[in-house]
Structure formats: structure tokens, C-alpha cells
Structure 1
Amino acid sequence: MGPAERLGHWISVAGDLLLGAVCPGCGRAGVGLCPGCRAALAAPAPRRARPSPTPPGFPPTVTGGPYDDLMRNLISAHKERQAWLLSSDLGRRLARAVAALLRDVGAGPVYLVPIPSSAAAVRSRGRDATAALAVAAARRLATQRSESVRMVRLLRPVRRLADQSDLTASQRQANLAGAYAVRRPARPRFPGTLVVVDDLVTTGSSLAEATRALTAAGLDVAGAAVLASTVRRHHPPASSAHPVRPDAARGV
């Protein structure tokens, strides 16, 4: 078996193990994302996201697109079924959202700060899924900017959180209040721009709490970027409903 054949064999094995030899977006037979799902993943323009009601301290946030069926399948596969081959494709979408957020930010290093996963979640999944997305996005952005871009694990959970899947917005806010702290001393400050990143924004409580913890430690947060945002319950003001300028994320 030659080198090319061996590579193809191991790609097929990885597909069987990680993705069940089907596209994780639509379920069609194949290894990795099918062309249609890859095109759909890249199609939405980054947009400002603001949940309603908005929790106190919610940062300026850009989403890579809506939380539709495709994103539901991909986020679930990446997070719960260890489909790590998706990190690159999802990281590219996250990188576009970060680039759009930073369009008016001056030069300097960029630090992507993932929302922390619990130790139990990391053990059960075998990896910190959000940190993996941040690493992939940082690598993509580093090819587009002259300054360094990297992921930093600045946040840690300080207590056990309740499962948020069935909680209301107010219950999520109470569940997350004071839940995060900075891992390391805030000084010397990071000489650059901090961006909180996550896979999904629903009520905004996680992003607000992460921003609170970072600013309480003396760090400046430019905003947040996420892969997807859930559909709003109320229509946003006209000024916040417009897509971010396409040229802001061009080439990412």
C-alpha cells in the first residue's frame, strides 16, 4: 500500500470512528462535510447578535449565522460525538465572526478566550470543544493579520453549574452569576485585544458572565464572537439588525 493509499485508508478510518462515515450536517454517506453543507456553513454573513431580553453586561457580539438545523447538527457532532475533524470548518466560520468584530479595532495582538468547559465535560468528551474551536479560529486569523492571534485559557469555572438546557433566561442568568474567574493574575495585562468566544449564544448569560470575570480582573474585553445565535424572541432595533459589512471578514 503506497503513501496515498495509506492516507486514504486512515481518512476513511477516521471518518468511520468520528463521523460514522456520513456527513455530520445532513447524514449523507461520505467522510466529513459534504460540498453542500460546507457551502451552507460558509454562506451567512457575520451579524451582530443581541438576545432579548439582554442580560446585564452583555458584550458586543458577532455571530457567524443563525442556529439552524445544519449548525445544530454540526455543533452536536463536534461537542458530543467527538467529531474533531469539524474543528477546522467550524473554526473558519468563527474566525469570520471574530474578524467582523475587530473591523474597527486597531493593530495589536488578539487573544481568543473560550468559555470554559467543566472538568467533567472535558473528561467525558475527551477534549475541550470550545477551546478547540478557538485554536482553529486563531490559526485561521493568524494568516490574515500581521499581529499574533492565539487562544488563551484565561477563564475557569469556580463552582458546579446546573444543566442549562431546560432553564429560562432568568434562571440561566442566576445559574451563571459569579460562575467564572480568571485563571492567572490579571497583571501584567495582555497587551492586545481580548475576544470571548463560544459555539452558541442563546440568552447571553455565559458571555455576560465571562466578560464580568475578565473585566473584574482588570482586563479589557473588545466583545464576543460565536458560531451561531438562536432566533430572537423580539425584533431587534434596526441599527443592530444589519449584517456586518462583508469586507470586514473578507478572506477569513
Structure 2
Amino acid sequence: MSSFSPLMPDVVRAAFADALAFVLPVSCAGCGAADVALCPACAVLLARPSDLVRSVGDGLVVHSAFRYVDEPARMLRALKEDGRTALARPFGRALAMRAASAFPGEDLVFVPVPTSRASMRRRGYRVVELLTRRSGLPALAALRPARRTADQRTLGREERASNVRGSLVATPAASGRRVVVVDDVVTTGATLEEAMRALTAAGADVRGALTVAATPKRRFDA
């Protein structure tokens, strides 16, 4: 029988829920408000993606839903590092809305940047693949890691480009397809450029890139 059986008196159910909240406290992933996984204000924020556009590398246009600051950054880190995978659903809806405004009426497939083996072992799930699934966009798993790379977080622009160069390979399924590359965050754009290179080499027509968030142009000139 479930712990919250309909036969259980309301007062007992409430007391049991309070006890669980004490043992496993919940707070909003965006603003930290107590006793709620996602507060109404942060839910509204995720339902209103921005129209952010930047160009990286040799003209790859990247469309992003949020700036990687404040609440969106905290929520995305909660999804990536704290196991709060329920956030993939509202982020996925935001990706779908951003795709609709960026690529209206185009017949495209969306190719997620693959998760490294180390990240998969650490988290137990593939962030970008999960976000792409939750978006409901037509997806194609056409990229594979070709070699191991170092953690990008502490690297500068040139180091990032060198780190990921030649690190991806596209499958034959990409040939002849019109594709959009999907990632969680664009910083310098090095990973997206590498994905574009691999897909183009396999015969795909890369129409652009789509990310949940874009970092501010401060430390990195993206």
C-alpha cells in the first residue's frame, strides 16, 4: 500500500509529508524558496524563453532560450549536477518554443551533442539527450565521441577549441539531413563548431544550433 493511501486520515498524511520535508528538505531550484521544487515565479520564467542569437566560429548561428545567469543558471546547474531531472521538462518546452521561433516551418532534425563517458558515470543520465527528448523535437542521435576530452570549465577560448578538435564523429544517418545541433550551454562555441564540422563531414546540412542558455560575453569572447 502507498504511504499516502486514500484510507489514511488527512492529518496523518499531512504529518507524514511534514516529516519527509524535514528529512528531505525541498527548495526551489531557481530562487531557493522553501518547500517547493519550482516556485510559480521561476516556472513562469522558464515558460518565457528569450530570443538570444549569437554567431560562433565560421558563421554558425546559435539560438538560445536564456542567459546563463541568476535563476536560469541555478536551475540548469540543479538539473546537471544535483540530479533534479524534473527540470528537463520545462527546459525542454522552452527549447521547443525557441526552435519554433528560430526555425519556423523548416523540416529539420535536432542532433544532441553527446555526453562524455565520464559525465555519464558521474550523473547517471545524459543531460542534452534528456533535454532534447523532453522538448518533443524530432531528434537524431547522429554524433558520437571519437576520443576523450578534458573538462572544459577551466579552459580559455583557444584551449577549448584545441581540447574538442577532432573529438566527435557523425554517423552515416546524418548524410543528406538538414540538422540543428543541440547543447545545454554555449560559452565559446567550440563544442558546437566541432559538432558542425563532424556533421558536415558526414554529409549533413547544418542549419544552426540550439541551446538552453548562453553565457554572458565577459570572460570568453564567443
Normalising by structure 2, we get a TM-score of 0.83
* Contact 2:49–2:94 under 8 Å retained in 1: no
Which amino acid in 1 is paired with 2:115? S
Q: Which blocks of at least 5 consecutive residues in structure 2 are unaligned? A: none
Which amino acid in 2 is paired with 1:55? G
Which amino acid in 1 is paired with 2:217? R
Task: Specify which of 200, 209, 219 is matched with residue 224 of structure 1.
Answer: 209
Q: Which blocks of at least 5 consecutive residues in structure 1 are unaligned? A: 139-148, 237-252
Tell me the equivalent position of 1:79. 80
* Contact 1:55–1:173 under 8 Å retained in 2: no
> What is the CA RMSD across the aligned residues, in angstroms?
2.7
Cα shift readout 1:153-177 (whole Å, capped 9, x = no counterpart):
1111111111111111111011111
1-side partners of 2:174 and 2:218: how far apart? 40
Note closer, same or farther for the CA distance 1:86–1:168 as it changes in structure 2 (3 Å cut).
Answer: same
- Residue 42 of structure 1 deviates from its aligned partner by 2.8
* Contact 2:142–2:174 under 8 Å retained in 1: no
* Contact 2:142–2:173 under 8 Å retained in 1: no
Note closer, same or farther for the CA distance 1:187–1:46 as it changes in structure 2 (3 Å cut).
Answer: closer
Tell me the equivalent position of 1:189. 176
Larger RCO: Structure 1 or Structure 2 (Cα < 8 Å, ≥ 6 residues apart)? 1
Higher alpha-carbon deviation: 39-48 or 73-82: 39-48
1-side partners of 2:174 and 2:29: how far apart? 43
Which secondary structure does the structure 1 equivalent of 2:72 belong to?
helix
Which amino acid in 2 is paired with 1:34? C
Give the total of aligned pairs: 207
- Residue 187 of structure 1 deviates from its aligned partner by 6.8
Tell me the equivalent position of 2:57. 55
Tell me the equivalent position of 2:51. 46
Cα shift readout 1:116-161 (whole Å, capped 9, x = no counterpart):
11112112211101100001112xxxxxxxxxx4222111111111
Which amino acid in 2 is paired with 1:78? L
Tell me the equivalent position of 2:148. 160
* Contact 2:111–2:143 under 8 Å retained in 1: yes
Equivalences for 1:11-50 in 2 at 5 Å? 20-50=25-55
Tell me the equivalent position of 1:199. 184
2-side partners of 1:210 and 1:155: how far apart? 7
2-side partners of 1:196 and 1:128: how far apart? 15
2-side partners of 1:33 and 1:102: how far apart? 29
Work out which of the two has the higher radius of gyration on C-alpha atoms and give 1 or 2.
2
Which secondary structure does the structure 2 equivalent of 1:72 belong to?
helix
* Contact 2:175–2:203 under 8 Å retained in 1: no
1-side partners of 2:174 and 2:35: how far apart? 49
Note closer, same or farther for the CA distance 1:102–1:20 as it changes in structure 2 (3 Å cut).
Answer: farther
Cα shift readout 1:14-44 (whole Å, capped 9, x = no counterpart):
x97xx95111111111332100111222334
Note closer, same or farther for the CA distance 1:188–1:136 as it changes in structure 2 (3 Å cut).
Answer: same
Which secondary structure does the structure 1 equivalent of 2:138 belong to?
strand
2-side partners of 1:113 and 1:137: how far apart? 12
Note closer, same or farther for the CA distance 1:27–1:167 as it changes in structure 2 (3 Å cut).
Answer: same
